[in-house]
A and B are shown apart, each in its own frame.
Chain A
Amino acid sequence: MNNAIIYLHNIQNEYYDILKSKEPIVFSDDLNLVEITMIIEEIDIFWRKNRDKILFDLDYFDDKETLFLAGSMYLDIDGNCHYYFKTFGDENIINDSILKFQNIANNDVNADFDIISIFKRSFKNTLSLLENFSSYFYILPVDYIISVYNDELIEMKNKIFYQLLSSLLDFEDILSNELFFETFDSIEKIENILENKKIDLFTFNEGDNNLSLKERLDKYETQIPFKLDDYLMKFLCLLYNYWNQIISIFLVFMELGFIPYISFKNTFFNFHTLFLSLYNGEDADEILNKIIVFYTFNICTDERIFNKINFEDYVNLVVNNDFQEKLMNNDEDNISKGLNVLINHISKEFNILMEKNEN
């Protein structure tokens, strides 16, 4: 086992140098999609060339509690998100946000989605992380690493999808595409199951829960990139789309052992609902409780508090006072008693921590 980081620090430095060299292009007024594509391509190639070194150093994280930023485009430093993220875990990984633009840096994207501005923000954050916080966070091409480990990624994702679907529809065996269509001959059959379980799917906007499942499928069919007439197929495709992010997060957890740190509400609730259907390891409850505590800390702590404390001092404070351990004390008890109890517990411990800083 590799007990020390051999290559990653240099790789982070080289990545910083590449991004720094692109700064004039990115922050020019006339940055266009082709230039963004060129930058993404160069970065993609950079990660690929360092693949073996990254895989070698991944061993280092095996015996550490490693968190990865899940469900967010990038770590918002301006919003003090780095404080929240670094509160927990021994090591913290951020999926390279620039590579995420691979599939969306094109003219087909919705005109309301100002991709160039979002790219600039993402770029700025990544550069700032590498410049100022490289000893606290590792930026890695997590999705690419997963694809290296698992060359049958699509099959794996499909397998997980059908596992979830079986659980959703109370099917004893794991469904397959063929079995699904053999078992269900109408969308109404599925709607009945969901109604009995009081599950609302595809309720993205107000009033959606008053629509039938068929009507919701019609309303959101534009989220599927191709036209489908069959409602059962529409259901499968939309559901896959909906769960895709969760499946990806779960794959990272399973393949790399990184615990997801989730701060977005929708992602958190979806993951929280589905996790135990996917993972039945002995530590399943323990991990889920951590994810809940991480999220709850995020929602109950005012970001402005972090403006009063230097980041390095905060990290030392958290480590020296075993803050995560204190938060996780009686976690099951606190969680079971409801959100308010958990929030009170977290707030109390955080206040004690901040008082120590003032002293």
Chain B
Amino acid sequence: MRNHPYDKLKDHEHKNGIFKSPINQIDNIKLYHWRNDCLPDFIWIALILDYYNREGAFLKLSSIFKEIEDSSFQFDSLQLSYIFSLDKPHQIEFYNILLKYIDVETLSPLTIIFNKNQLFKEYFVIENYRVEDKLIILENIVEYYGTNKSDEATDVQYVILTFYFLIRNKIHLTEKTSEIADYLYKYPKTPHVNDEMKKYRPTVRSIFGAIQDGIYEHNQEFIRLFWRELLKIGGCELIYGEYMNQFTLDENFIEDIKIEFQKLIIENTETELEDSQFNVIIGSSVYALKVLNELVECNLRNKVMGRLCLRIIIEVYITLKFIHKKEQEEPNIWEEYQEYGIGKYKMILIKAREVKEFENSHLNTELIDALVNEQFDEMFLNIEVKYFKKDMRKKAGDVDEKELYDLYYDYESNYAHGLWGAVRESAMLTCVNPLHLGHNVPDVQLNHGLADVLPDAIMVFKKLLSFIDDNYPLSSEFMSKYEVKNE
């Protein structure tokens, strides 16, 4: 598991329901993503760096900058958006300067993005250079030069700084920053493999990051257009979740549980009429068993519904454990729990009577009526809106199952409520085309699988069995066969 420098909850400021991350606690911070927000305007520099080796490219760019200095107009920015905004004669002058030092092939990949720019095409379209091949070049550029702390990205940032430092005089260093000047001077001459670059590279990046807003204006419209074109031209490369389930469930596990439960029922027949505890524990456990069985039989282990199955089993387990703990304070708690559940059904029945029509609905009002009035007439039945004063998290804490709640239950709750995290994980596919900025595509064909929940479902169910055994002993053979431990 990867560690993160800011991974402690205590580093997050908690206020008004928001846990503010450490960086966001600093005022006046503007977030620019190097690849998404900056690279497009300077991609031509990346192409030159990539086409020639690093040393060669720096030399050529240096020559280009010298000629720009002597050009007939004041060349204000290295941004492509600026270059395209120049009037025709100045653009031509700039392209001619470029082509004195670089091959036309270097910038040719850009013609597929700026396809409507006739002048640019006239200069940079060449024969026998297919769109497919240009896309591959651009993918490599974005992948290597778009990664924020890569050597390649730092080289581009260095070139930008040099221009604003030496040509546009927008950056000034003082005596106190002479060490920085030294680093910047040595940067292009030092190979990346040298140890000194571990000082030089962060210097370049931190200066660029700190002052970029001051030295040029981000052209949001241009950046948007750039990525939009590439999204349309390049095909998505989608990643599907495909899991080889390694966990094998003993084929007799569920059948053996059924046998154990049957024995329990037989052995407790005489007392079950009065023993609400027995009814609730066994009834709820059979409910959990039904859910487990459906998880297996309907092959839901890699599906969204599998997550809900796990959540149900966890909730049944924690609830039973909680009620058991509370019995000392509230001796009638098991009965009251049953009344509480039936009371909730009464609420549904009352509302259903107001609606009246349930054609083709699974909501069988006659059945619900019978269930509600089964023990006694509903007029004697209260509807508790909030029986347990504690929510699930607090209940789990009370019965020493905080980790079960924090990790598993809370995680699966995202699925139960259809929250975006679960939607993103299960219904959206990741596109790994570097030109598509990591966008997601809905899994319309329903191909994407999820990690197997069955091992965790079995783990929780064994906890439930252990709890049952504490109250109504199961056979020792069963317990040892399936390694159900008593806690």
Contacts and interface: CB of A to CB of B under 8 A. Distances in A.
Interface in B88-115: 111-112, 115
Contact-residue bracket for chain A: 10 to 19
Interface in B159-200: none
Interface in A27-52: 33-34, 37-38, 41-42, 44-45, 48-49, 51
A48 B233 contact: yes
Nearest to A147: B132
A233 interface: no
Interface of B: 111-112, 115, 121, 125-131, 232-235
Contact of B233 (A34, A45, A107): A45
A106 interface: yes
Contact of A49 (B125, B126, B232): B232
A106 B234 CA distance: 24
Given A38-B121, A42-B115, A45-B115, A106 B232 contact: no
Contact of A148 (B121, B127, B129, B235): B235
B127 A48 contact: no
Contact of A105 (B111, B128, B131, B233): B128
A41 B125 CA distance: 9
29 contacts: A33-B127, A34-B125, A34-B126, A37-B125, A37-B126, A37-B127, A37-B128, A37-B129, A41-B115, A41-B131, A42-B115, A44-B130, A44-B131, A45-B112, A45-B115, A45-B233, A48-B131, A48-B233, A48-B234, A48-B235, A49-B232, A51-B235, A102-B130, A103-B128, A105-B128, A106-B127, A107-B127, A108-B128, A148-B235
Contacts of B235: 48, 51, 148
Contacts of A37: 125-129
Interface string A116-140: 0000000000000000000000000
B232 A48 contact: yes
Contacts of B128: 37, 103, 105-106, 108
Closest 5 interchain pairs by CB? Answer: A106-B128, A106-B127, A44-B131, A49-B232, A48-B233
A51 B131 CA distance: 14
Contacts of A108: 128
Contacts of A33: 127
B440 to A, nearest CB: 15
B131 A45 contact: yes
B111, B126, B235 interface centre (most CB from chain A within 10 Å): B235
Contacts of B125: 34, 37-38, 41
A144 B234 CA distance: 12
A303 to B, nearest CB: 36
Contacts of B111: 41
B225 to A, nearest CB: 14
A49 B135 CA distance: 13
Contacts of A34: 125-127
B126 A41 contact: no
